């Protein structure tokens, strides 16, 4: 049995899990704009689900920072603020540096393969001008690093950020309708990630994040001007 490469089956086929997935998708794709009020009765009808599982799903998304809830008043798609963006990027910098420190001595052939393969997918998506895919593949590229750390807590933490990050990317893309100069940046990222200089990589992470931050920095005002 050398082909014992089976993924753990997802037994979580509860309604709640499906609702989480659907809502998450709707939010990070921009379909549900930030600040939108989520009325339980409407949503439950829309999803063909009772309010019970819906509420449980909402609780989960609140913990992921995608939804804000005020008791007896309402639940809203998380609003975007400058501070939230700053925090996300500074925090993410620390997380990713930690990830590289962890993975550095354990980078094997599979790590290298996955990273390169993911870079190709990202490049292809950008070249074909498929913006949604480009966003997804960029996040997947970074995800490779976290996945190979073998650090569940770190991975969970990253997954928590990922949703909001995805949302910011989407909103930025919708506001400017251009993908930006991603390719070169990620070429260097991967090269360094497969190289021998950890410090150089860590510095590049800081720099890489700073670039990303600069891109979405004006998101708040951009959005206000685009969707008045």
Partner DNA sequence: AACGGTATGATTGTTGACAATCATACCGCT
Partner DNA sequence: AGCGGTATGATTGTCAACAATCATACCGTT
Closest distance to a copy of itself from the beta carbon of 208 (Å)? 18
User: What does the alpha-carbon distance between residue 172 and residue 28 come to, in Å, rounded to a whole number?
Assistant: 12
Main-chain dihedrals φ then ψ at residue 180, nearest 5 degrees = 90, 175
The item of a copy of itself, DNA, none sharing an interface with residue 113, based on CB under 5 to 8 Å by kind, is: none
CA 166 – CA 121 distance, rounded (Å): 17
Q: How far apart are CA 213 and CA 165, in angstroms?
A: 11
Q: Is 153 in the site for a copy of itself (CB under 8 A)?
A: yes
Does residue 103 contact residue 145 with C-beta atoms inside 8 Å? yes
The interface partner of residue 61, options being a copy of itself, DNA, none and the CB cut-off 5 to 8 Å by kind, is none
Q: What is the CA radius of gyration of the chain?
A: 19
CA separation for the pair 58, 75 (Å, rounded): 8
Contacting positions for DNA (CB under 7 A): 11, 14-16, 37-41, 49-53, 55-56, 69-75
> 66 or 119, CB closer to DNA?
66
How far apart are alpha carbons 175 and 85 in whole angstroms? 16
C-beta closer to a copy of itself: residue 12 or 110: 12
Measured CA to CA, the distance from residue 151 to residue 101 in angstroms comes to 12
Residue 143 touches which of a copy of itself, DNA, none (Cβ within 5-8 Å per kind): none
Cα gap 141→74, rounded to integer Å: 36
Minimal distance, residue 133 CB to a copy of itself, in Å: 27
Minimum distance between the CB of residue 11 and DNA, rounded to whole angstroms?
A: 6
187 touches a copy of itself by CB under 8 A: no
Q: Does 217 bind a copy of itself (CB under 8 A)?
A: no
Among DNA, a copy of itself, none, residue 39 binds (CB under 5-8 Å by kind): DNA
Number of residues that bind a copy of itself (CB under 8 A): 34
29 binds a copy of itself (CB under 8 A): no
Nearer to a copy of itself, 4 or 70 (CB): 70
Cβ neighbors of 157 (< 8 A, separation 6 or more) are 95
């Amino acid at each position: 049995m050398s082909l014992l490469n089976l993924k753990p089956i997802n037994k979580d086929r509860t309604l709640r899990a499906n609702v989480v997935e659907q809502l998450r998708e709707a939010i990070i794709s921009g379909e549900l704009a930030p600040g939108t009020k989520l009325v339980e009765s409407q949503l439950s009808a829309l999803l063909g689900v009772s309010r019970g599982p819906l509420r449980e799903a909402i609780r989960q998304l609140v913990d992921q920072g995608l939804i804000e809830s005020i008791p007896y008043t309402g639940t809203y798609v998380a609003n975007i603020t400058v501070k939230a963006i700053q925090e996300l990027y500074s925090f993410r910098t620390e997380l990713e540096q930690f990830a590289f420190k962890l993975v550095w001595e354990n980078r094997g052939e599979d790590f290298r393969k996955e990273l390169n393969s993911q870079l190709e997918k990202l490049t292809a998506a950008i070249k074909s001008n498929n913006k949604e895919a480009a966003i997804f593949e960029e996040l997947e590229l970074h995800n490779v690093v976290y996945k190979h750390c073998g650090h569940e807590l770190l991975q969970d933490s990253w997954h928590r950020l990922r949703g909001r990050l995805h949302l910011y990317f989407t909103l930025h893309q919708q506001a400017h309708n251009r993908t930006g100069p991603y390719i070169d940046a990620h070429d260097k990222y991967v090269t360094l990630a497969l190289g021998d200089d950890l410090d150089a990589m860590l510095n590049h992470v800081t720099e890489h994040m700073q670039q990303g931050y600069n891109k979405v920095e004006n998101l708040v005002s951009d959005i206000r001007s685009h969707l008045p």
